[in-house]
Structure 1
Amino acid sequence: MATRYFKLSDDVYRSGRWELGKLSDQRGEEVWPALLMRGEPAHIEGRIVAPVKTAGRPLDFSHAAMGIPVVFARAASIFMELAAEDVQFIPVTIEGHPEQYLVLNVTRVVRCIDDQASEEIRYWKADDGRPEKTGQYRAVYGMRIDSSKVGDAKVFRPWGWTVALIVSEEIKDALERIGATGTKFKEV
């Protein structure tokens, strides 16, 4: 039986939840979000700080501003156990919360988007005025992947659309087993 894969995102509709703001480094400068969504190791000196933009219940999985995944230690342990070679954890201090939280940086990219099976794919065109992006994905709606191209990956970002975070059914099931809060899964 083929492995199933899921887009993992932050359940923003969870009632009473917190909302995290923009990440900054130890000097107070904003951490460039794209640095943590490229699918490669990031080099950040010192500890990252995340403000609580909206007070509420802390979550095991949530996004800081611009979709950067932040995980509580128990959720991080799932990724370490099942996909250690494809993740990097960067300590983050969440203002007013002494518990151990980490930025989850997924360091693997897989070329697997199934353009025909996806609901809608848009590409950058030459007349869009961004010649450096011509031919690349501009938008991906209802993304579907070709699981035969994933190989042994259990967590990854899809090539060309690295804003999406994809996990295997094994990781999804493990997060659900521990009752990880804040997770939302959509099969891809």
Structure 2
Amino acid sequence: MKYYELYDDVYIPGRWHLKMPVDGRGVWIDTWRFNEGRVLDIEGLIRFPLKLAGVALDFTLCSMGVPVVHRRVVSLFERLGIQKEVQFIAVEVEGQTEPWFILNTLYVIRCIDDAKCEEVFYWLPEDNRPDKLGGYRNVRGLKVDPAKIGKANIFRPWGWKVVLIVSERVKQAMEEEGITGAKFIEV
């Protein structure tokens, strides 16, 4: 099985760009909680203002990397039988009447293959960050070890949760469905 980083195609001409999410009062919300790999209990409205108006995409990363998807993606994941691997959190997107969702991935898997990555940097004692000591500071040319992934179809890699990874099955389904905005790079 192959795996792919799922990211946002920022070079689509005329596309929209979303700002950071805000609550009902317009206050920015903590986006890191969407990388933790757990079900979230969200109270109140989450809204995404537009940074740049344009063509709405089925898959988008907001300015802080939170995946926002159209209901077409929700339906696709349900047909694939992988809806238990994610939580879809209803949100409003400025200027849109159709349903949109934050795609909150529920799995974090320890699967980075350090030896096959292009470059891996770790937090060291001299960085004066004891809370991060020994963890990944940066990963370039990410590669994963498929033997450590099991049957997961969508997840974040432990230690480098800024990346969203999907199985080849999900990649192919998204491409066949014509999901706009999604780009893939093999990891």
Q: TM-score scaled to structure 2, two decimals? A: 0.96
- Corresponding residue of 1:159: 158
Q: 1:26 is matched by which residue type in structure 2?
A: G
Note if 1:73 corresponds to 2:71.
Answer: yes
Aligned to 1:143: 142
Mapped partners of 2:27, 2:42: distance in 1: 11
Shift of 1:184: 0.5
Q: How does 1:81-120 map to 2 (within 5 A)?
A: 81-82=79-80, 83-120=82-119
Aligned length: 186
Separation in 2, partners of 1:154, 1:26: 33
Percent sequence identity is 48
Aligned to 2:24, what secondary structure does the other structure show?
A: coil
Cα deviation for residue 75 of structure 1 reads 1.3
2:29 counterpart of 1:27? no
TM-superposition CA deviations, 1:53-79 (whole Å, max 9, x none): 101100000011210000000012222
C-alpha RMSD over aligned residues: 0.9
Letter in 2 for 1:87: V
The residue aligned with 1:62 is 60
CA distance in 1, matches of 2:126, 2:179: 45
Cα distance per residue 1:58-108 (max 9 Å; x no partner): 000001121000000001222233311110011110111101110100010
Unaligned 5+ segments in structure 1 are none
The answer as to whether partners of 1:20 and 1:64 remain within 8 angstroms in 2 is yes
Native 8 Å contact 1:80 1:87 kept in 2: no
The residue identity in structure 2 corresponding to 1:139 is N
**Is the deviation greater in 170-179 or in 37-46?**
37-46
Distance 2:33 2:41 in 1: 9
Note the residue ranges of structure 2 that are not aligned, 5 or more in a row. none
Question: TM-score if structure 1 supplies the norm length?
Answer: 0.96
SS for the counterpart of 2:121 is strand
Aligned mates of 2:114, 2:148 — CA distance in 1: 13
- Distance in structure 2 (CA, Å) of the matches to 1:126 and 1:80: 45
Secondary structure of the structure 2 residue equivalent to 1:65: coil
Q: Give, as a single letter, the amino acid of the residue that structure 1 aligns with 2:152.
A: A
Rounded Cα–Cα distance in structure 2 between residues aligned with 1:160 and 1:78 = 28
CA distance in structure 2 between the aligned counterparts of 1:162 and 1:87, rounded to whole angstroms:
15
* AA in 2 matched with 1:78: L
